[in-house]
Amino acid sequence: MKTPRHLLALGALAVTALTLTGCNKPAATPPPAESTKPAATASPAAAAAAQPAEEPEAGQKFDTGEPKELNLFCWSEYVPQTVIDRFTKATGIKVNVENYASNEEMRTKLLAGGGQYDLIQPSEYIIEAFIKEGLLEKLDKSMLPNLKNLAPEFQHLSFDPDHDYTVPWMAGTVGIVVNTELVPDDIKGYKDVFQEKFKNKIVVLDDAREIVSWGLDTMGIPVNEMSDENLAKVKPVVAQWLPLVKVYDSDSPKTALLNGDVALGIVWSGEGALLLRQDKKFKWVLPAEGAHLFVDSLAIPKNAKHPKNAELFMNFILRPKISALISADFPYLNPNAEARKLLSAEDLANPASFPTAEEMKKLETFKDIGQQAAKIDDLITTLKVQ
């Protein structure tokens, strides 16, 4: 069984959420980011500004005693400006944002950086590594009462079972988007995407770990078994695939699909969900050979200068309304059960955001693979320039 047991119930839960919350709110209408705000307001930023400032949780205060600053190092296209504006309005804390497009980029900059970041947003396998390496600060749980809002399946994740170091941000999958006006074929998996006839019509994530995992899945090799032998086996498969790719983009892979520059792609689920929201010609497919379920979380690096401000932000984004605002802009698999109740029926039914129970069985989370990570990077760098 590939899927860790603690995550198996997620799909069923997503389906339950669909049926329970469908009648709570009117369905969203475009533009998508407006789904959690009153219809009369022009933009999410205007909506945020128009709302009264959020109050602290009972018995807490927004003044941590630290300088009013927070340095956030996060994935691109993942943290809405609206959420940052609401945090600043409530707390007076100015948030400096720097983006990255892969866990590996974040790791390199973090290790070179000497404590300039207060909050990072790593995925499950990097969290596992960072905890082992002592790179994260322990969290003060008294600052995080909103952890209770997480769905049970996200309360005890294997890489940090008691939230000693991390607070889930969003989960998601990596799957295929097909522009059905350009590709009438029944695309089921990676092998169907990487066909000669689609040469220069494909966008994929610019992510070595992801690309190698698609190759391993295609060969029936578990994605965490990254021995030299398995890498040698996967190399010829990926070597055939990469010359067919037109665009590598981990920041906004939806753009090439929207522009019509490419006809199909392998992208983050939130990017897929935005395309599906925008135009029914786009179809989402979870690859038949297997797919990655990621869990991205907030964590505080050791020696952060504003750890209390960081905990305040962590608790803030666990508020149902705030978490729903994140889903409005970036519709990933929201781990916050209370926030899901605020999402529109349409968003809960978006197949890219919320996989079915059946689909969840195909998913696999990545594990820390230690030194092999560097070999994967080298492999993909070499094959990209061949």
Residues that bind ligand N2P (CB under 6 A): 75-78, 123, 268, 294, 296
Residue facing ligand N2P at closest CB distance: 77
> Exposed, middle or buried: residue 27 (CB in 10 Å: 0-12, 13-18, 19+)?
exposed
101 vs 345, beta carbon nearer ligand N2P: 101
Minimum CB separation of residue 348 from ligand N2P in Å reads 20
Q: Which is nearer to ligand N2P, 102 or 179 (CB)?
A: 102
Q: Which is nearer to ligand N2P, 268 or 316 (CB)?
A: 268
Nearer to ligand N2P by Cβ, of 75 and 282: the residue is: 75
In terms of DSSP bridges, do strands 245-248 and 166-179 run parallel, antiparallel, or are they unpaired? Answer: unpaired
Q: Compute the distance between CA of residue 365 and CA of residue 173 in angstroms, rounded to an integer.
A: 9
Residue among 78 and 159 whose Cβ is closer to ligand N2P: 78
Cβ proximity to ligand N2P: between 90 and 212 the closer is 212
Residue closer to ligand N2P (CB basis): 122 or 189? 122
Q: Is the CB of 192 or the CB of 207 nearer to ligand N2P?
A: 207
Complex with ligand N2P: residue 217 or 296, whichever CB lies closer: 296
In angstroms, the CA 162 to CA 200 distance is 46
Shortest reach from residue 294's CB to ligand N2P, in Å: 4
Q: Where are the beta strands (DSSP E) in the chain?
A: 69-75, 94-100, 119-120, 166-179, 202-204, 245-248, 264-268, 282-285, 291-299, 363-364
Angle between helices 208-218 and 372-384 (to 10 degrees): 90
The least distance separating ligand N2P from the CB of residue 140, rounded to whole angstroms, comes to 26
DSSP per-residue codes, 327-346: HHHS--B--BHHHHTTS-HH
For residue 298, the minimal CB distance to ligand N2P (Å) is 13
Token output for 210? 């992801």
Q: What's the min distance (Å) between Cβ of 313 and ligand N2P?
A: 18
8 neighbors 361 (Cβ within 8 angstroms): yes
Amino acid at 262: V
Rounded to a whole number of angstroms, the minimum distance from the CB of residue 366 to ligand N2P is 10
Whole-number Å distance between alpha carbons of 379 and 373 = 10
Contacts of 267 by beta carbon, 8 Å cutoff, 6+ apart: 174, 175, 176, 177, 203, 204, 205, 253, 254, 257
Judged on CB neighbours under 10 Å (0-12, 13-18, 19+), 152 is: exposed
Contact 336, 14 (CB under 8 A): no
Output the six-digit token pair for 161.
């079972």
Dist CA 286 CA 351 (whole Å): 9
Indicate the residue among 117 and 294 with the shorter CB distance to ligand N2P: 294
- For residue 370, the one-letter residue type is G
The minimum distance between CB 318 and ligand N2P, in angstroms, equals 18
State the minimum distance, in angstroms, from the CB of residue 134 to ligand N2P.
23
Cβ atoms 165, 314 nearer than 8 A:
no
The CB-of-58 to ligand N2P minimum distance in angstroms stands at 33
In whole angstroms, the minimum distance from the beta carbon of 45 to ligand N2P comes to: 19
